[in-house]
Amino acid sequence: MKKTQKILALLLTLALTVSLFTFTSGAIEPQEEWLEKNWSELVESKGSLLMTPGEDNTKMNFSWQSSFKSAKAEIEVATKQDMSDAESLDVSTRFNIFCFEYTHEATASELEADTTYYYKYYADKKWSDVYSFKTADTDSTRVLFVSDCQIGRYRQGTDEEILQHDTYGWYKTMELATEKNAGINFIISTGDQVEDSYSEHQYSLMESVPQLRNYPIAAAVGNHEFYTTNYSSHYNNPNRNTDVPFRDPAGNGYYFLYNDILFIVLDSNVVVPSTHRKIIKAACEAYPNAKWKVVSMHHSPYDANAAKYFTSKITRATITPFFDEFGIDLCLSGHDHYYSRSYIVKNNKVTDDVLHNNTYTDPKGTLYVSANSSSGSNYNGIDTENVGPECDVWFQSDTPCYSIMDVKDGKLTVTTYETGNNDVVDTISIVKK
């Protein structure tokens, strides 16, 4: 622990000598130049199509919006780039009175493994460009993990300057992460995609990154998306849990299988324990042979300063007992706007599992990883004098971060990077024999 603190103190000292973003160095385009090229188009942008993982590897879900003047929508999927073998998907449409737009949803089924597919969609009386996605290689899984891009959160400048700052940071993180890490299958975002749940403009800026036309995103509900129906209008999530005693406006959790990994996405804003147990139980019963069980949600139960955060205490009380009950291997979260990683925890206590070469072998509990902001929209400090006993590593250099989760041959590894220089912040692995 002391060693970790000394290292982080040095990193923080160094961070004070550089600008808010290290994007201005190396090959990454400075903010001013990027805005000059892109902002005039982005500021007028409307919501784009988003892909979300289907129930399993053979399916892909789509969701997109159109104006209230045009309810007609179509989508075609093909294996040839010229779309000559395109097939039309069934599209469901509903009207969102809150944002005064139509939401369209569709699912592509019977997809072949390790195959590139092409698609285009129709909205607002015109066809989109042709985009592509690639289905999973069944031998391995690679996931890009981000959190709290939170477009609109930055607290310096005019309203437009705030949006410019956050959008630029989000673009550069997504650009770097996908360029440096080939073979990404999909993206996990653990909430607060936007600052204001009612702002379609913030959603549009978040969705405008080109990587989201090629990679599906599994997004959790953050506390800033919790208050309106806009979240559920943007994400066509599989196995959505609607049969709950308390239904929040954004919508509750969901789950899906990707290769041999069961992913369960929870809405940690909901404080009804039975809701969480029900969806975790349903997911585990639906896919009993999954080798790995990974939960993503917004609030971290065991981040660096969890002991003093009310939300962390609530999450530990209402959710983590079911991780112990159903054998969850890894929990990914955000909200705190700094990076932290726990020891192996079970029954609210650190287990006796030994970390060897940054690896836990057949651990007896759950590993918790909490992400920093992926855009630099906001950073929180760490009270190093009050770090909880469950936390092993904590890090804050006031630069955006992202993580890559790799799963192959019985080994799950999470490696976290700083966006500006792509330096490794932390790496941790779990091995199952």
Q: Model's pTM, two decimal places? A: 0.92
Looking at the fold, whether 89 and 200 belong to one and the same domain comes out as: no
What's the CA dihedral at 382, 386, 389, 393 to 10 degrees?
20
Looking at the fold, whether 210 and 296 belong to one and the same domain comes out as: yes
Residues 6 or more apart whose Cβ sits within 8 Å of residue 15: 397, 398, 399
Which of 91, 111, 134 represents a domain boundary (last residue)? 134
Looking at the fold, whether 75 and 189 belong to one and the same domain comes out as: no
State the pairing for strand pair 74-78/60-67.
Answer: unpaired
Looking at the fold, whether 119 and 197 belong to one and the same domain comes out as: no
Q: What is the pLDDT of residue 50?
A: 96
**What are the mean pLDDT values of the chain's consecutive 10-residue runs (433 residues total)?**
40 37 56 94 84 97 86 93 98 84 94 97 92 95 97 94 97 96 97 92 94 97 85 91 60 90 94 90 97 96 77 88 98 96 96 97 98 96 89 95 97 96 96 94
Range of the domain at 146: 2-27+137-431
Looking at the fold, whether 118 and 142 belong to one and the same domain comes out as: no
Alpha-carbon distance values, 391 to 161, 305, 358, 388 (Å): 36, 9, 15, 6
Looking at the fold, whether 149 and 173 belong to one and the same domain comes out as: yes
Q: Is 179 helix (H, G, I), strand (E, B) or coil?
A: helix
Question: 254 is written with which tokens?
Answer: 């969901």
Q: Is 302 helix (H, G, I), strand (E, B) or coil?
A: coil
Domain containing residue 355: CATH number = 3.60.21.10
Instruction: Output DSSP code: residue 58.
Output: T
Which residue in 264, 325, 324, 251 sits closest to 296, CA to CA?
264
Domain containing residue 75: CATH number = 2.60.40.380
Q: Helical H runs in 287-400?
A: 310-318, 320-326
Looking at the fold, whether 343 and 236 belong to one and the same domain comes out as: yes
Q: Please check whether residue 47 lies inside any domain of the structure.
A: no
Q: What is the pLDDT of residue 346?
A: 97
Q: Please check whether residue 35 lies inside any domain of the structure.
A: no
| Per-residue pLDDT tens over the stretch 17-44 | 333 444 433 457 899 999 999 999 998 8
Q: What is the pLDDT of residue 306?
A: 67
First to last CA, the chain: 29
Q: What domain count does the chain have? A: 2
| Maximum Cα–Cα distance across the chain | 63
Q: What is the pLDDT of residue 21?
A: 43
Looking at the fold, whether 118 and 187 belong to one and the same domain comes out as: no
| Per-residue pLDDT tens over the stretch 295-335 | 999 999 998 886 666 778 889 889 999 999 999 999 999 99
